[in-house]
Structure 1
Amino acid sequence: MKYPENIPSVETLTDVTAEEIPTSINGRTEPLLFKGVAAHWPMVAAAKAGELSDYLASFDQGRPLMVFRAGAESEGRIFYNERMDGFNFERTAGQLVPTMRALESGGVGEECCYVGSTPVDHHLPGLREANDIPVGEEKPLVSLWFGNRTRVAAHFDLPGNLACVVAGRRRFTLFAPDQVSNLYPGPLDFNPAGQAISMVDFYAPDFARFPRYREALQAALVADMEPGDVLYVPSMWWHQVEALDDLNVLVNYWWRSTPTWSGLPQDALMHALLSIGGLPEAQRKAWGELFQHFVVNKDQACEHIPEGRHGVLGDLNRDASARLKKLLIEKLQRTL
């Protein structure tokens, strides 16, 4: 598979310490690659020596995890099956260290093997004492991802993301949030791993079916990463992730910029589909204008209203959020 030419690289910084990362990404809305920031991690050194599974075994609790397995015909692409009534992989139960040892020894053969979003503190308590990056005052979810030569289609995540390569080479292809319609996302509620993914095959795009994908490629950025590199992926940026070697290991940090009691934006999207998605087109567009005014441009919507009368347009605290949730629940129950 040949990577498209002329895709510009993500802005890259060298000679940055892990402690300087929070300042470097504070308020930043575009990706940023930090070269070699995690190169000093013991687990990176163990991976280079071919001893990563042995190093992780001293932390491993033997807890089960989910392993995605697909045949060689998938060419590593984690995707739907041809009928799109299922997927091109099977989910099987496994354990962390035995699965990684099989990858290190080539024991999985030509099949695609992929383990995603495995909580580090749950499976490998104590690992982060010597293998960690501070992300300021945030309390991140830290996860381990590993497998062989796999490819995850472009998708977005709500949290901010620091992706740290431990073993093998990784390639992130990134698209700004405004490229969503050019990426042709699939279903919101039926997808390989919980997030809508681009339906376009990056290496064999069908431009007759997906003509706007050419615009997405023109706006794309690429980050080619080696062990020790760290990539900042801002919230809501679409990213395709490729593992380019027979063993690839990555640790990532996710954190939200808002408290958990504020709710999840994707729930609001589902509610909007329920209450607005069935309206005539003209009414949907009218509601789109209201969302743009009251939600997207929230600060502007409040500037002519006396401060004590902002109501739900004001900054919500935990108590106000609870009252609003209660009101929403009552309104939803009346429509059942």
Structure 2
Amino acid sequence: MNYPDFIPAVEIRDDVTQTGLPDAIADRTTPLLMKGAVAHWPVVQAAKAGRLGDYLAPFDQGRPLVVFRAEVETRGRIFYNDAMDGFNFERTTGRLLPTLQELERRATGGDHCYVGSRPVDHHLPGLRAHNDLELPDCQPLVSLWFGNRSLIPAHFDLPNNLACVVAGRRRFTLFPPEQVANLYPGPLDFTPAGQVVSLVDFHAPDFERFPRYREALEAAQVAEMAPGDLLYLPSMWWHQVEGLDELNLLVNYWWRSTPAWTGLPQDALMHALLAIGGLPQAQRQAWGQLFDHFVVKREQAAAQIPPERRGPLADLDRDAAARLKKLLIDKLQRM
């Protein structure tokens, strides 16, 4: 049996409406595929009718964007080159509508074209007036992703994610956060598109080099998506994303569970590597226990301390966060 046939499907529902979406994903920690949840969007209907470019033309501002282009031999996998001192694609400058029209006209084959994470309101202002999700108490970042056949290696994102397929078919291969070691992440500071990616080629895994990937596969789920489908992807879940047709377009909604003033967890990770990464293994393990106690199990750690003495263990407000940031800056400047 070939990949991904042996991987079980994510949970699927076909009864989720716009008004029922918030309840469907509230407090959810596993993926959910909602079939046809955005099929009523006019842009989805236009794509199904072969008029995607015509529909988007009145909204397009002609603003430049970065286009990744990769040779046929890459199979559309946006990745490193063989020496891992560069990448297997070129970054070029293009514009949204001409790039889409090129893909609409193109016959099967040719090089691979991929555009990722472009703000909808910047490139297509007004589009969301009739093609949008209602997410109460949330100010999401809404982005476009499009191209022809492509494969974005498995990575994770901090925000929660709602991915809406507008045109073409998509496949998400998903892994829970605890599979990180079994996915063999690559460099933190040298990445194809900003996020650390798995070094495993899921379509041709090298089990001698990546033996623990077999364990990851036991936890994998797959979401096969058609135009109009909506996928909820919780924060920190690893996901490989494949565009399966000659024209694919996806709109996604990202939002964080905490305010922006709390800072980015990945910055704390880099600081931990600076301050703890060079310690002997026994000391790193001891600090791991402290992180587990004070950060992962923060509520438990704070429970025995009087509320007025909890300090950073208390729920932070903007002012408390600002004081803590100043303390950290002062300490870093003395290094």
TM-score by length of 2: 0.98
User: What letter matches 2:44 in structure 1?
Assistant: V
- The match for 2:36 is 36
Deviation string 1:2-35 (CA, Å, 9 cap, x unpaired) is: 4233211110111210121111111000000101
Are 1:79 and 2:66 matched, yes or no? no
Q: Deviations over 1:81-117 (max 9, x none)?
A: 0000110000000000000000011179510100000
Summarize the Cα distance change of 1:73–1:258 in structure 2 as closer, same or farther, 3 Å threshold: same
What is the aligned partner in structure 2 of residue 205 from structure 1?
Answer: 205
AA partner of residue 19 (structure 1): T
User: Given the superposition, is the C-alpha separation of residues 49 and 4 from structure 1 closer, same or farther in structure 2, using an over 3 Å criterion?
Assistant: closer
Q: Which residue of 2 aligns with 1:333?
A: 333
Separation in 1 of the partners of 2:326 and 2:285? 28
Find the counterpart in structure 2 of residue 238 from structure 1.
238
1:257 maps onto 2:242 in alignment:
no
Q: Any unmatched runs of 5+ in structure 1?
A: none
Tell me, in whole angstroms, the C-alpha distance in 1 between the residues paired with 2:220 and 2:134: 28
Aligned to 2:215: 215
Residue 289 of structure 2: aligned partner? 289
CA distance in 2, matches of 1:68, 1:216: 29
- Alpha-carbon separation, structure 2, partners of 1:194 and 1:135: 26
Residue aligning to 1:67: 67
Q: Is the 8 A contact 1:153 1:239 kept in 2?
A: yes
**Residues 16, 24 of structure 2: 8 Å contact kept:** no
Q: What's 2:247 paired with?
A: 247
Task: Answer yes or no: is the 8 Å Cα contact 1:19–1:133 preserved in 2.
Answer: no
Residue 275 (structure 1) aligns with: 275
Q: CA RMSD in A?
A: 1.1
- Paired with 1:117 and 1:136, the residues of 2 have a C-alpha distance of 23
Residues of 1 paired with 2:2 and 2:152: CA distance?
Answer: 16
Contact 2:167–2:247 (8 Å) recurs in 1:
yes
Which residue pairs with 2:139 in the alignment? 139
For 2:41 and 2:198, the matched residues in 1 are separated by 34
- Please tell me whether the aligned partners of residues 276 and 284 of structure 1 are also in contact (alpha carbons under 8 angstroms): yes
Instruction: Name the amino acid aligned to 1:330.
Output: D
Paired residue for 2:160? 160
1:99 match: 99
Which sections of structure 2, spanning at least 5 residues, go unmatched?
Answer: none
Match of 1:18, SS state, is coil
Q: 1 CA distance for matches of 2:145 and 2:96?
A: 10
How many percent of aligned residue pairs carry the same amino acid?
A: 70
Secondary structure of the residue aligned to 1:7 is: coil
Match of 1:150 in 2: 150
Separation in 1, partners of 2:108, 2:261: 43
Shift, 1:54, TM fit: 1.2
Aligned length: 335
Query: Which one-letter code corresponds to 1:291 in the other structure?
Result: F
Question: Which is worse superposed, 300-309 or 99-108?
Answer: 99-108
